[in-house]
Structure 1
Amino acid sequence: MLNAPQILVRCIALAVCTAALAACGQRGPLYLPTDPAAQGRASLTDTVLPNTPAPGTTPPPAPAR
């Protein structure tokens, strides 16, 4: 059976988690930026797989042995 301090701690933890989840993220619709300043930014693919060439580009030549 739960006692008063356990209930209080669980309620506070639930409130903190709820506030953290409600506060994260971007408000409004999602969009892909097309302005020139956005051209040099890393994409999700660049972040997750940093050594993969971007689609539509030729990969760099392999180093000579």
Structure 2
Amino acid sequence: MLNVPEILVSTAARRLVLAAVVVGTLAGCGQRGPLFLPTEPAAAQRATLPQTLSPARAASAPPSGTATPAPRQ
């Protein structure tokens, strides 16, 4: 039978391991650099996420207009 200090230490250790797993997962996602929407002309021909996930449904849907790049300051 475990006594109170052993229970507290094992609970703290489990939380520490869980926190390390969460931090490691988030840190290892692979995204580097700032996030931005591409504005070069070649980007206009790339597939969007919904088109990538469901090509048949995206092909039957009408195009949703083109995005205009924001003016640079």
Bigger proportion of residues as helix = 2
Q: State the structure with bigger RCO (CA 8 A, min sep 6), 1 or 2.
A: 2
